[in-house]
Amino acid sequence: MVKNDYVIRVLDSPLQMNADQWNALLAAQSPDGSLNPFMRHEYLAALHTSGSATPETGWTPRFVTLWQGTALAGACALYLKDHSYGEYVFDHAWANAYQQHGLSYYPKAVVAVPFTPVPGARLLARNAAERTLLVKALVAWCEEEKLSSLHLLFASDDDVAACEESNLMLRHTLQFHWTNGAPEGLRFSSFDDFLMSLSQEKRKKIRQERRKVAEAGVTFRWSLGQDISSADWDFFYQCYERTYFEHGNAPYLSRDFFQRMRGTMPENWLLFVAERDGAAIATSLIAVSARPSVDTGQIYTENEVKIAYGRYWGAMERVDCLHFEACYYQPLAWCIAHGFQRFEGGAQGEHKMARALLPVKTTSAHWLAHPAFSDAVERFLEREGAGIDNYMDELERRSPFKASPQPAQPPKQQ
């Protein structure tokens, strides 16, 4: 496929993509120094080589690349899906409607990071014009392949602008993010300083929850990067796997995936281990941002903007409020102590507001090939969007912070 002097090439595996070229283009999407690790080539390759996101699990990779001569001008990670699991933007009702009308919704095309509802750049491009060209190429490719639809999930602001220009439909969901100093914009000097910014009710509740964990004899230690031992990685996976099975599901990610994270991206992981009577009983694994150099694709960890991402947790024993301590209070205290500006709490979870994670809109973009269904979905999204706006207003009125603060502005997603 040729567009003027551009060439589109579709690759069947992330391993066919040059890692340095991909990472350098990814780094160019984040001029402010922020970068989430989940679009790094190493992360996407590990999902594939570990067997976590492969055709066998319903994720068939088709990495779409835009070339101008020998220069990589744009790229995205696209997957053909025969189900809607592991996406966190729910379209099961759309699939059911297709089925009820005797039409096939699957396979569909998804531009996303498998199992990872973290907002960020999905359309890697050198500039806005090439990003829009990449969107148009995606739609044209989906039409050629006779796919039902294209879905770009948890997009950056630049991605959204390119999708709007190409007439894709936008859908909004909510996540809950903590900002260091929200809502006044001043940095917290300690966890107690953070607590004092909250209303008395919320402050009292957090202290009660933390006290329950401490009185149960639970203490925490943390390790970052290469300091996370092999034994701790093994114990983390035992906890992670057990928690999935307790909820009646097999884990999305394999032990081999995390082994590859330890080998190729150690600087992006922070592990909290809960212990009682000298024995480990629970873990919480947090991702932290680390930025590749635009020139070389190499990684360094001294970012201008530092972000942490709540990801995985598991426990071998039940302790009241242990989940809150492991997944929110310990990470927030660490973020304050280490100068991190933001902690993203992941998909859904209104209960996170009580822990001072404020609502933030996230955006996905959608294209449906069938005109009638496209019109119906567009009308649905208008109604759903109005509901999201009303819900956002309601949540902002229930701020956990003291006396009528201004709601935090959604961060610009890179």
Phi-psi region of 181 (alpha: psi -120 to 50; beta: other; left: phi over 0): left
Same domain, yes or no: 163 and 196: no
Q: What's the confidence (pLDDT) of residue 298?
A: 47
Judged by DSSP in three states, 269 sits in: strand
Same domain, yes or no: 182 and 255: yes
Same domain, yes or no: 366 and 240: no
- Evaluate whether residue 287 is within a structural domain: yes
Q: What's the confidence (pLDDT) of residue 412?
A: 55
How far is 194 from 393, CA to CA, in rounded Å?
A: 24
Q: What's the confidence (pLDDT) of residue 294?
A: 42
- Evaluate whether residue 402 is within a structural domain: no
- Evaluate whether residue 404 is within a structural domain: no
Same domain, yes or no: 291 and 316: yes
- Residue 60 gets which letter from DSSP? E
Same domain, yes or no: 107 and 23: yes
How far is 177 from 341, CA to CA, in rounded Å?
A: 11
For CA atoms 69, 70, 74, 78, the dihedral sign is: positive
Residues 6+ apart with CB under 8 A from 131: 74, 123, 125, 158, 159, 161, 162
- Evaluate whether residue 412 is within a structural domain: no
- Evaluate whether residue 410 is within a structural domain: no
Cβ distance 262 to 214 under 8 Å?
no
- Evaluate whether residue 403 is within a structural domain: no
Same domain, yes or no: 221 and 125: no
- Evaluate whether residue 115 is within a structural domain: yes
Q: Which domain holds residue 204?
A: 177-359
- Evaluate whether residue 414 is within a structural domain: no
Same domain, yes or no: 256 and 343: yes
Same domain, yes or no: 134 and 23: yes
Average confidence (pLDDT) per 10 residues, the chain, 414 residues: 78 96 92 81 98 97 96 97 96 96 97 97 97 97 98 97 97 95 79 94 96 98 95 97 92 96 94 97 93 45 76 96 97 94 87 91 97 96 96 91 56 54
CATH of the domain at 14: 3.40.630.30
Cβ distance 394 to 358 under 8 Å?
no
Strand (E) or helix (H) holding 11: strand 6-11
Domain count, the chain: 2
Judged by DSSP in three states, 72 sits in: strand
Same domain, yes or no: 342 and 209: yes
Same domain, yes or no: 313 and 371: no
Query: What pTM, to 2 d.p., does this model score?
Result: 0.92
Same domain, yes or no: 123 and 246: no
Same domain, yes or no: 209 and 69: no
